[in-house]
Amino acid sequence: MKKKVVSKILACALAAAMVVSLAACGGNGDESSTPSSSTPQSSTPAESTPSSDETPGSEETPSTEAQAPEVDIKGSGMSKITFALTNDSDDHTEPNAQTTKLIEDISAYVGTPLEFSFAMQTTYYDQLANKLMTKQVADVNTFAGQSLTPEFINAAEQGLFWDLTDYIDDYPNLATIPQDTVAACSYNGKVYGIPKHRDYARNGWAYRTDWAENLGLSEPKTWDEFKNMLYQFTYSDPDGNGQNDTVGLGIDAWQGVWDIMEPWFGVPNTWGIDENGDLVYKIVTPEWKTALAEFRDLYSQGVINDGSNGVPAFEDVEIGKARQELWYQNKNGVAVQVIDDLRKVNDNAVTEGKITEDKLIFKMVGGVTYGDLPLSLLPNGAGMNGWLGISTVNVKTEEQLRQVLYVLDKLNDGDAINLLTYGWEGVTYELDEEGYIVPWTGDDYAAQREAAGVTTMNYDDGFLQCLAYFTAPENAAELSLKPYTSAARLLQDQLYADDVQYCVPNYGLGYVSQTYVDNGSALDAIWTDARLAYIKGEIDEAGLDAAIESWKNSGGDQVTKEMNELYHAAGH
């Protein structure tokens, strides 16, 4: 039987209560503090005089080398820490007993009172530019994306957010964040955020195993085999219904599908390295044009959903809806997406009784090879799914910053994550005979919830936005859900682990040119629009070349110049 975690959290809560009361006495970080745009003031701990190693009678000269002072990583000075988070299901404006208890218990666990505000995601980001401009931000703020945005960078460079470069490694959980992921939260050598975890090797494709079996096709390993599968799934009646109603590759309006497949052809992950050791942007490489020519060929053959065969054209399928409108509807045999989204086709088939959980109807794969090139895959960003920025509005001193970092680190203890995710034994979950957590969700547990006085299971909605999900082994949770046993889940986890070695790094990660900050969206639109037009046959190669030249002349060459200056200045 696994140990129960409730007693540990309660013990931490009691011990931390004294810390909370002490912190509340000297705080100057309440909401009434006047916003400040000044640079954060560092308050360095007083240096202590090193003791001599000399012993009586020793003839050795005493060491004069100064010893670094010990750093108090807990910090102090904040009477509370505020969080601004997104949440599309509950803004918590109507408090309930469970939400109140959750905030109280997690505040006690980390040793500082925490205050949370929530907004719908669209509202949050619609208002973000104004909040950054007026400095009306919380102490800790959530941001979305796989790299820092120009708006955030501008605000950080103007002093609104702390540079965390010299602090993260002092905290056991935060110190486990991979360097590539930290770089994704960096701007030219300055780390401006705590990245939130996302699996690194998360991109791939999947194919219908029953259709492949019907047509006698084996799993494609090469691009030519992949193309043949798409053709056969489109034109050889793979479902055996005698109708011309299927397509090989089914996608929606999301254009990231091309980005996922481009590395198969040797295309850099945004920024590659040329023979001179310089950064080169992917769209000026010959490999990019090779990839696009192959995608154009697929489209011309009708093996991508273009509106024929009774399958909706990809432009008409809302982003994120391919699974519901195509994959679940047996419209296509191949999909390119993040692996966990592809896995859900198998989950749906199990739910509908089409397969048992030990079978696969939609087999996930990392990628295929092209010619003599090794297998190369596009990582999911740099393992980052947004970040947390610490503002200087109320977090003014280094001691206060360390208090916030200590809290963020403690929030990523496994037991704190479990508290925020599952709540309390006997209130929102129970332990099975093996000691695993069984959440009281769904209709099957209505009686248990009612007996425990639980009024809603949405009490914790949105709180997970404050977590980075990086945990040191020594801080792992004592309790967990029962491990998955389905074939799809096991394959997903295997691909996540096995495919890391094939992921292509972005050599420009962490460097941002000012020209791109000022004009990046317009520059990106030039080549993304041209890519789609070329794939669909709306422009020819000359038109694609013209778009590349337009990108260069509109600022692309200047971006490349600035990126290389930054890259080489860092010692590369």
pLDDT in tens, 177-191: 999 899 999 998 899
**Cα-flanking dihedrals φ and ψ of residue 493, to 5°?**
-65, -35
In a domain, 541, yes or no: no
Q: Are residues 241 and 303 in the same domain?
A: yes
Considering the domain boundaries, does residue 10 fall inside one? yes
**Number of domains composing the chain:** 2
Q: What is the pLDDT, as a whole number, of residue 69?
A: 59
Helix (H, G, I), strand (E, B), or coil: what is residue 190? strand
* Position 61 in a domain: no
H helical segments located in 111-171: 121-126, 128-134, 150-157
pLDDT per residue over 424-440, tens digit each?
Answer: 999 999 999 999 999 99
Long-range contacts of residues 285-291, Cβ cutoff 8 Å, at least 24 apart? 287/262, 288/262, 289/541, 289/544, 290/265, 290/266, 291/258, 291/261, 291/262, 291/264, 291/265, 291/267
Q: Would the pLDDT of 2 be above 90?
A: no
DSSP 402-435: HHHHHHHHHHTSHHHHHHHHH--BTTTEEE-TTS
Shared domain for 301 and 369, answered yes or no, is: yes
Which range (60-64, 75-79, 324-328, 329-333) has the least confidence?
60-64
Task: Answer yes or no: is pLDDT of 570 > 90.
Answer: no
Same domain, 127 and 21: yes
Contact 198, 385 (CB under 8 A): yes
- 26: confidence class by pLDDT, cuts 50, 70, 90: very low
Q: Do 259 and 367 belong to one domain?
A: yes
| 517, containing H or E segment | helix 514-535
pLDDT at residue 62, as a whole number: 42
3-state secondary structure of 130: helix
Domain of residue 98: give its range.
6-31+75-199+384-475
**pLDDT tens across 102-120, in order?**
999 999 999 999 999 999 9
Report the pLDDT value the prediction gives residue 548, as an integer from 0 to 100: 98
pLDDT tens, 376-386? Answer: 999 988 999 99
Residue 19 pLDDT grade (very low, low, confident, very high; cuts 50, 70, 90): very low
Question: Quick check: 67 pLDDT over 70?
Answer: no
Statement to judge: residues 11 and 145 lie in one domain? yes
- Residues 339-361: tens digit of each pLDDT: 999 999 999 999 999 999 999 99
Are 367 and 358 a contacting pair, CB within 8 Å?
no
State whether 221 and 168 are in the same domain: no
Look at residue 57 and tell me whether its pLDDT is greater than 80: no
Structural domain includes residue 271: no
Q: Tell me what pLDDT residue 357 has.
A: 97
Is 309 in the same domain as 230? yes
Examine residue 52 and state whether it is found in any structural domain, yes or no: no
Give the pLDDT confidence score for residue 41 in this predicted structure.
Answer: 34
Q: What is the mean pLDDT of the chain?
A: 88
The dihedral formed by the CA atoms of 187, 190, 192 and 196, expressed in degrees to the nearest 10: 80
pLDDT of residue 517: 84
Residue 355 lies in a domain: yes
Residue 137 in this model has a pLDDT that exceeds 80: yes
- The Cα-based distances of 298 to 227, 283, 535, 536 in angstroms read 7, 20, 8, 9
Q: How far apart are CA 251 and CA 205, in angstroms?
A: 11
Instruction: Please check whether residue 138 lies inside any domain of the structure.
Output: yes
Q: Does residue 7 surpass a pLDDT of 50?
A: no
Q: Is the pLDDT of residue 366 over 80?
A: yes
Q: What is the pLDDT of residue 6?
A: 36
For 434, half-sphere exposure in the C-beta direction (CA atoms, 13 angstrom radius) is 7
CB-based contact 172:197 (threshold 8 Å): no
Instruction: Indicate if 349 and 496 belong to the same structural domain.
Output: yes
- CA 155 to chain CA centroid, Å, is 22
What pLDDT is recorded for position 8? 37
Mark 500-513 as b/e (b = at least 16 C-beta within 10 Å).
Answer: eebbbbbbbbbbbb
* Predicted pLDDT of residue 512: 87
pLDDT at residue 40, rounded to an integer: 33
Residue, of 19 and 280, whose pLDDT is higher: 280
State the burial class of residue 460 (Cβ atoms within 10 Å of its Cβ: 0-12, 13-18, 19+): buried
Do 233 and 154 lie in a common domain? Answer: no
- Looking at residue 383, its pLDDT comes to 92
Give residue 56's pLDDT: 32
Q: What is the pLDDT of residue 71?
A: 77
Is 55 exposed, middle or buried, given 0-12, 13-18 or 19+ CB atoms closer than 10 A? exposed
Same domain, 258 and 359: yes
Contact call for residues 162 and 153 (beta carbons, < 8 A):
no
- Name the band, by pLDDT with cuts 50, 70 and 90, for residue 93: confident
User: Residues 191, 302: one domain?
Assistant: no
Model pLDDT, residue 571: 87
Tens-digit pLDDT profile for residues 537-568: 999 999 999 999 999 999 999 999 999 999 99
Sign of CA dihedral 141, 143, 147, 149: negative
State how far Cα 413 lies from the chain centre.
19
- Residue 104 shares a structural domain with residue 25: yes
Cα 121 off chain centre by: 16
Please give the share of the chain, as a percent, with pLDDT higher than 90: 80
For 484-500, what is the mean pLDDT? 97
β-strand partners of 260: none
* CA gap 232, 301 in Å, rounded: 11
CA 555 to chain centre: 29
| Residue-by-residue DSSP string for 361-376 | SEEEE---B-TTPPP-
For residue 97, the domain's CATH number is 3.40.190.10
**Average pLDDT estimate for 246-253:** 98
Of 297-301, 399-403, 441-445, where does mean pLDDT reach its minimum?
Answer: 441-445
| pLDDT attached to residue 68 | 52
Whole-number pLDDT of residue 91: 83
Q: Give the mean pLDDT of 251-255.
A: 96
Residue 68 included in any domain = no
Residue 12 has pLDDT above 70, yes or no: no
